[in-house]
Amino acid sequence: MILAMTTVKTAAGASHDAKPSRRERARQSKVRILAAARDVFAAKGYHGATMAEIAEHAGVAVQTVSYFFGTKPRMLGDLIGAVVTGAINASDEPVDPERSDWFTRSLTEPDGKLALAALVEGSLPVFARAAAVADVARVAALTDPDVEMVYRRSEEHRHAQFRRIVQALRDHGTLRDDLTVDIATDILATVFSPQTYLACSTDRGWTDAQTATWLADALPRLLLTVDR
């Protein structure tokens, strides 16, 4: 990764390159390590990847990796957060999904179909960059108690976000009367999941547009009253 350099004018009108601060250099190093972890986990799986391999891929010492993350489970947890917010993409400003405009629209839109369409349109890019990492965590959680805790926290947070969407559908009178909020949340979280996204994109070769079209049609059929 090439460190960004900022040109600063002096009082005399001359210019010089201002080097990134220590904090910015540390942030860039951490992002570079997380990007390397994403690539190595994708290639070898969680258990097959080593801290040394991740360090080599990132171009840093293994001690630097340990300094920032301590343990591999903690690194995985930080990686999940980074891919969800987009912090790992240097060209994009990190955004917490719950603070995004599309999430707000999905909560405030009284038309159930439009609310779910906003959810699909806004969150599909999150799934595109986070689904593979989430699935690495899901598989590793089956045999590693520390990773199981990381994965469970991530899933609990996803369910909590979706529950807010479902509760908004209930409040707007568009959720099916025969569904409780709990059951409807389970349905939404199951159908619109990292595993479903990977099944569509990787296993079936669907484009994101095809996946979005299907979800925007399927979710209202599953969750909304017939006339909403």
Q: Do residue 74 and residue 33 come from a single domain?
A: yes
89-114 pLDDT, tens digit per residue, is 755 677 788 889 999 999 999 999 99
Q: Do residue 80 and residue 104 come from a single domain?
A: no
Q: Do residue 137 and residue 176 come from a single domain?
A: yes
Eight-class DSSP state of 203 = I
Whole-number Å distance between alpha carbons of 21 and 18: 9
Q: Do residue 173 and residue 78 come from a single domain?
A: no
Helices (H), the chain: 22-48, 51-58, 62-69, 72-85, 101-108, 112-141, 145-171, 181-191, 194-198, 208-223
With 0-12 / 13-18 / 19 or more C-beta atoms within 10 angstroms meaning exposed / middle / buried, residue 113 is middle
Q: Please tell me the predicted confidence (pLDDT) of residue 27.
A: 85
Mean pLDDT of the region 58-63: 94
Whole-number Å distance between alpha carbons of 166 and 192: 13
Q: Do residue 143 and residue 65 come from a single domain?
A: no
Q: Contacts for 210-217 with beta carbons within 8 Å, 24 or more apart?
A: 211/124, 212/120, 212/121, 212/124, 215/120, 215/124, 215/191, 216/113, 216/116, 216/117, 216/120, 216/121
Query: Into how many domains does the chain fold?
Result: 2
Q: Do residue 104 and residue 80 come from a single domain?
A: no
Q: Do residue 64 and residue 117 come from a single domain?
A: no
| Confidence band for 227, pLDDT divided at 50, 70 and 90 | low
Q: Do residues 87 and 97 touch, judged by C-beta distance below 8 A?
A: no
152 vs 11: which has the higher pLDDT: 152
- Whether the pLDDT of residue 7 is over 60: the answer is no
Q: Do residues 51 and 66 touch, judged by C-beta distance below 8 A?
A: yes
Give the predicted TM-score (pTM) of the model.
Answer: 0.83
Q: Do residue 119 and residue 160 come from a single domain?
A: yes
Q: Do residue 138 and residue 57 come from a single domain?
A: no
User: Directed axis angle between helix 51-58 and helix 62-69, to 10°?
Assistant: 110
Whole-number Å distance between alpha carbons of 163 and 158: 9
Q: Within a domain: residue 12?
A: no
Q: Which two tokens stand for residue 158?
A: 């996803």
Mean pLDDT of the region 31-41: 95
Which residue range forms the structural domain that includes residue 170? 97-223
| Confidence band for 18, pLDDT divided at 50, 70 and 90 | low
Query: Who's near 81: CB < 8 A, 6+ residues apart?
Result: 87
66-84 pLDDT, tens digit per residue, is 999 999 999 999 999 999 9
Q: Do residue 136 and residue 70 come from a single domain?
A: no
Q: Please tell me the predicted confidence (pLDDT) of residue 95.
A: 79
